[in-house]
Chains A and B, each alone.
Chain A
Amino acid sequence: MAVEPLIEKWQGKVAQVTIGATAKDGGTRSHVVTVGGETGLPFLAESAPMPNKPVVAFEIWDIAPADWPDELAAIYKSAWNDPFAWAQKCVADYKAQLLCVKLQGSHPDNGKKTATQQQKFVAGLLNKVKVPLIIIGCGDDETDNLVLPACCEAAKGEKCLVGSAVQDNYKTLAASAFADGHSIIAESPIDINIAKQLNILISDMGIPLDRLVIDPTIGALGYGLEYAYSIMERARLSALSGDKMVAMPFICFAGQEASRAKESRVSVKDFPQWGDEKDRACMWEALTASSLIQAGADILVMRHPVAAAQINKYIEDLSA
């Protein structure tokens, strides 16, 4: 007797968010990236084909990072003193379809670049590269509330994704990003209750749900990945069951978290049994990202170009 596959049908749908605007829509991007829209769990084509595949965004900074692992420094060092060159390298050499720029130089500890400086920087970046952009603040609330609205204005009409709004500081960013036509990242500290609450607070400002992306905060492999996975899975199952307040695409900073892991950093000299750190750093990031894809991640912000290529291939293979 043939076994009948059990096909699950869900009633809910994840919101679909588009990043970037081409000339047709009043922007200057070469293409747009659309994420979300799922009506089922990832890569279960028989029960629910994925309308949009997960995407990789390359992470760049406006300043040269001081704390990235040696392996990443070796790859990017030639370019990262000039963020425009860094961005162009990602697009030209690694075929990045989406860039995520972190305005780390505004942080009080990193030289405190002003809103005007960053506004000029973002305008310049949009001029130099034509892929859609994700813009992330430095994480200092007071600074971000000055810098991000200025950057939103500089990128008006380009439909960027801007973050991050957090529970104690979401109004300024959400209002300015929305006013200038961008979408918003709502970040919660691996806490599904806060994730949902923040989405409600932002939607209470009149911002449509298809302009929100959830950053659930993740941990790398070995550093809380399972916990992040279970939070994302719980939110996604609830979204598919009809809870619109958690039915947004996920953005996951896989590169950032993987590079924090000791396993990505320490040398083979100190830990001979762990093997070459070159492979290790790349694998750590790729494994973190591929697991998150299974939990429902829609945007993977990554650092290591080889890991990014592996993830793109992984997505291709699963879609075949």
Chain B
Amino acid sequence: MASVFIIGELINGMYVSIAKAIRTKDKSIIQKCALDQISAGADALDVNCGPASKQPLEDIQWLVKAIEEVTDKTIVLDSSKPAVIESGLKAVSNKVIINSTTADAQKMAMLVPLAKKYNAKLIGLAMNVKGVPQNKDQRLELAATVVATCVEYDFPVEDLYLDPIVMPVNVSQGAMADILESIREFKIISEPPPKTVVGLSNVSQGAINRSLINRTFLAMAIAFGLDAAILDPLDKELMDALITAELIVNKQIYCDSYLDAYRKK
């Protein structure tokens, strides 16, 4: 019944303005970006120093501290480098999610104990060093590996978000149905079930109608039981589609002002 958990994606060093704010240590830009996303409906904020950061261990801590000055929403530490994640964890006092681990044993051996130590939730990707899975069975196998490893480390599976890896529709059109179905099937891997998450914007990478593709995919993913999404909450039409999709699957009670009602939540 719970609403889709919304993770705002905009504090990311790959955006020029954020990269510049990190470089010049301009807190106000980061804080405004955080508050804008929250007032648009974000439950959590993804934080990524970006590829240009020369000192990510320091930058991630600076970002976390700047954000926590203005909000107590959940921080999502986003890096492929466990050292950067750990550095972020040391600085965080809000609730926190690690974004992310792959299904590789070596990586999970570092990140799962870290998640436990810092009482963090964890995003697990259905991929490994060999790359992105080619079909639904591979996705399910990788997801099951992540779940099994978490159980091994005694990490609570309900704190795990599984990401089926959303591919750009103009690259992997044939994979879309598999990705959507995986969202539903991940939930039956264990009891209590893991949660599911997608990095939404990837679906429209390189396409022209990005917002339309994003919101259409999101609505479909919600129909398959999606729990969380990393997205741009400032895209109003995307948020309208999300709210309406929740209405259609009976997660919200209908009323004529249901869009306003959701935004007052």
Contact = CB atoms under 8 A, between A and B. Distances in A.
B15 interface: no
A244 interface: yes
A30 interface: no
Contact of A197 (B3, B251, B255): B255
Interface stretch (A51-59, A93-101, A231-239, A276-284): A231-239
Interface string B102-120: 0000000000000000000
13 contacts: A192-B253, A193-B255, A193-B256, A196-B255, A200-B255, A200-B257, A200-B260, A200-B261, A200-B264, A241-B2, A243-B253, A244-B264, A246-B253
A273 interface: no
Given A200-B260, A242-B2, A234 B265 contact: no
B153 interface: no
A208 B237 CA distance: 28
Interface in B244-265: 251-258, 260-261, 264-265
B234 to A, nearest CB: 22
B210 to A, nearest CB: 30
Interface in A184-205: 192-194, 196-197, 200-201, 203-204
A207 interface: no
Contact of B256 (A197, A244, A246): A197
B222 to A, nearest CB: 15
Interface in B226-256: 251-256
Given A241-B2, A242-B2, A243-B265, A234 B253 contact: yes
A245 B1 contact: no
Contacts of B265: 242-244
Nearest to A203: B264
A237 B264 contact: no
Contacts of A242: 2-3, 265
A239 to B, nearest CB: 9
